[in-house]
Amino acid sequence: MDRETYLDKTCGCWIGKIIGGTLGGHDEGVLGFLDYTYYDPVPTDPQPNDDFDWQLIWIHALEQRGLKITARDLAEERLEHWGGLYAEYAYAYCNLRRGLWPPRSGAEANTDPIGMGAAIRSEIWAVLAPGHPRLAAHYARLDAIHDHAEGGPGVEGEIFLAALQSAAFVQRDIPRLIEIGLEHLPAGSALIPMIEDVRRWHGEGLDWRACRTALVERYPALRCADVIPNIGLVVLGLLYGEGDFEKTVLTAVNCGLDTDCTGATVGSVIGIRDGARAIPEHWRRPIKDEYLGSEAELYDIPLRGRVVELAERMWPLAQQTLAQAEEILAPPQKPDPAALRPEIHADDYAIAAGEWKRIAVMAVGRDMMWTNGEVELRVPAGWEVSSAYFERRLRRAFRAIYDYDKRWQFDVRIPAEMLLFGGNDFQVALRWDGQEAVKRFSLLGGLRWAVLGPLLPGSTEKVLDALRQDWKAAARASWPGLQGSCTWNEYPSRVEWDFPPMFVEENCGAVAVAHLYAEESTPVRAHVAFQPTNDVFRIEVNEKVLWHDRPRHRAAAFLHYYLLELRPGWNRLLVSREAKERLLAHTDYGPATVYFGLTDRGGMPLPGMRMAPWPQ
């Protein structure tokens, strides 16, 4: 592919993406049909959108870190340059700040693992590997696993689109492009039957509205940005658009749901296929063939420029990538058969002060082997390790294979009186035949909440007043509950935003309280978010109300920030709910998600706080 063709197709990719995102941006989250025929309102500038912000971050990452970039490299760039904290982005951010790197950052405590957040980033990998779908899919996976669970549709959506878009540089047939995307999905992917259904309905002659209706009935969206139905709308837009840019983008956007993302994606596909010159001038003129980044979300990245300038920066990178494709795709060099490394497994990777956590240690190597060795758990002073497992498993022969091997089980406990951190580090050491391998691991610190509920309607405010006046008396008292008198119970949260089931029960109130002890005055940043709900939540720290409202955003869990000062001594955290009906996330999207966490002003875990339900 010559330089002129590449630049035209790459400009077409990003101009088409900006057009589609601008068209769909005003109605993101609409659950029904739309009736656009053109921009409304007509923009006078390109519109910022997180879909395009990621293109800018990943270009910077490739230029700074090279073509053999890793998932951890991308995660580090994300921490340095991306400030958008909502939906899966928020959960990944919290995991990364605690020291959990990909793939754990995308899987651990992520209640939004099937969003479109990765799929919307796919274009960069297509323009990096034009005409090489396998290579584009390789990069897409590295990207997606930092904020989505590996093996799930959130990751597979980006792989499917990156492969399809890469092929569009050299293949014009739309059905064939969809087949190429399917070829790069693993067997058993949840996307495959959905895509096949859309292709079948199209082949049977259903019009696009009937196809869209059948799609959302069979694959309903729990929220507007769910990846499965939205990838289906992308496929629908491509098939029914018949290769025409305007028809394709309008069809996808008028299907509703995640309209800015679906419009941007199909716009990029047709833009790659036909080049920028083929995009109608009346669609290009309002955005001026320029891009505009999100000022509130991008850090240390130029926010505005001409699309052709980005394409020119990508041209040498694409040439180098294709030249090194075989090397980039080569499996990682296998370790020496005698080399082992420790890995761990747990039901989850969070621990609350005072509770026992079982950890299985594995010795991982390349080949089957027998050797005498020992495993040692190195924990901070004050941690307790179960002697029953520790002594019995400390020394024995073990066999290791490439994936996993025999496991040594340890029970560990952080005493309730010890400081619990955002990330609680320990080491595992393996020793065999005069060799040693040591690796650091981390357990997330979870708060222990005192929880009261489910309360009778109207009781929540009385409880809050009592806590403010005399917390000791309020903690001892019984309160009117749905099933009789109600008393406080401790609830060990796995992570800060994990609240007990009574926070989603019908016609009830609930209160959760926790306390943090600070040795001195400590500046912090509070993170508060919900999925949109039909009920009222209240969050306060030391009687300062951070939130008291219904979360109304219709699309996703958006994070709000508050700068606070923790006072020396005990600081009270309160989360309450007063409900008159069953709590839903935006009525149609399923159970609500509550998020509440504290970090330092830079977003890092607090250096050490004693956490307890009640002051001690």
pLDDT at 199: 98
Question: Does 85 reside within a domain?
Answer: yes
Question: Does 335 reside within a domain?
Answer: no
Residues 145, 230 within the same domain: yes
Report which of residues 33 and 427 the model is more confident about.
33
Query: What's the rounded Cα separation, in Å, for the pair 519 and 371?
Result: 49
How far is Cα of residue 401 from the mean position of the Cα atoms in its chain? 31
If one counts every other C-beta atom within 10 angstroms of the C-beta of residue 247, the result is 15
Question: Where does 471-521 show beta strands of DSSP type E?
Answer: 479-481, 484-486, 489-492, 509-518
Residues 278, 292 within the same domain: yes
Residues 106, 212 within the same domain: yes
Q: In what order do the strands lie in the sheet with 356-364?
A: 341-345, 356-364, 407-413, 384-385
Tokens linked to 11:
């400009």
CATH number, domain at 420?
Answer: 2.60.40.10
Query: What's the rounded Cα separation, in Å, for the pair 287 and 305?
Result: 12
Residue where a domain terminates, one of 298, 329, 360: 329
Phi, psi of 424 (to 5 degrees): -110, 105
Neighbouring-strand partners of residue 558? 86, 530
What is the mean predicted confidence (pLDDT) over 325-354? 73
Question: Does 336 reside within a domain?
Answer: no
Query: What's the rounded Cα separation, in Å, for the pair 498 and 519?
Result: 26
pLDDT digits (tens, 9 = 90+) for 231-246: 999 999 999 999 999 9
Report which of residues 58 and 100 the model is more confident about.
58
Question: Does 223 reside within a domain?
Answer: yes
Query: What's the rounded Cα separation, in Å, for the pair 267 and 271?
Result: 6
For residue 230, give the amino acid letter. Answer: N
Confidence band for 447, pLDDT divided at 50, 70 and 90: low
Neighbouring-strand partners of residue 364? 341
Report which of residues 488 and 422 the model is more confident about.
488
Percent of the chain with pLDDT over 90: 47
Question: Where does 367-508 show beta strands of DSSP type E?
Answer: 369-378, 384-385, 395-400, 407-413, 423-432, 435-446, 448-455, 479-481, 484-486, 489-492
Residues 459, 501 within the same domain: yes
Q: Mean pLDDT over all residues of the chain?
A: 83
Residues 380, 510 within the same domain: no
Question: Does 382 reside within a domain?
Answer: yes
Tokens linked to 611:
């956490």
Residues 325, 428 within the same domain: no
Cβ(458)–Cβ(372) under 8 Å? no
Residues 480, 529 within the same domain: yes
Report which of residues 68 and 444 the model is more confident about.
68
Cβ(145)–Cβ(155) under 8 Å? yes
Report which of residues 227 and 29 the model is more confident about.
227
Torsion of the alpha carbons at 315, 318, 323 and 328, rounded to the nearest 10? 150
Confidence band for 314, pLDDT divided at 50, 70 and 90: very high
Confidence band for 334, pLDDT divided at 50, 70 and 90: low
pLDDT digits (tens, 9 = 90+) for 496-506: 445 555 555 66
Phi, psi of 358 (to 5 degrees): -90, 130
Residues 210, 99 within the same domain: yes
Residue 145 is part of which domain span? 3-329
What is the mean predicted confidence (pLDDT) over 353-369? 71
pLDDT digits (tens, 9 = 90+) for 244-290: 999 999 999 999 999 999 999 999 999 999 999 999 999 999 999 99
Residues 127, 196 within the same domain: yes
Q: How far is CA 104 from CA 96, 137, 226, 608, in A?
A: 9, 20, 21, 23
CATH number, domain at 111?
Answer: 1.10.4080.10
Helix (H) or strand (E) holding 164: helix 153-167
Confidence band for 352, pLDDT divided at 50, 70 and 90: confident
Residues 281, 386 within the same domain: no
What is the mean predicted confidence (pLDDT) over 112-140? 94
Residue where a domain terminates, one of 400, 427, 444: 444
Residues 522, 509 within the same domain: yes
Closest CA to 411 of 429, 436, 437, 392: 392
Query: What's the rounded Cα separation, in Å, for the pair 16 and 46?
Result: 12
Residue where a domain terminates, one of 329, 357, 388: 329
135-149, 194-208, 553-567, range with the lowest pLDDT: 553-567
Question: Does 420 reside within a domain?
Answer: yes
Does pLDDT of 390 surpass 50? no
What is the mean predicted confidence (pLDDT) over 480-488? 89
Helices in 332-386 by DSSP H: which ranges?
A: none
Domain count, the chain: 3
* Crossing angle for the helix pair 227-241 and 153-167, to the nearest 10 degrees: 20
For residue 68, give the amino acid letter. Answer: K
Helices in 25-82 by DSSP H: which ranges?
A: 50-65, 71-81
Tokens linked to 479:
């309160």
Q: Beta strands 304-306 and 290-292: pairing type?
A: antiparallel
pLDDT at 317: 97
Phi, psi of 481 (to 5 degrees): -115, 175
What single-letter DSSP state applies at residue 331? P
Question: Does 369 reside within a domain?
Answer: yes
Confidence band for 396, pLDDT divided at 50, 70 and 90: very low
Question: Does 334 reside within a domain?
Answer: no
Residues 201, 66 within the same domain: yes
pLDDT at 554: 39
Report which of residues 425 and 47 the model is more confident about.
47
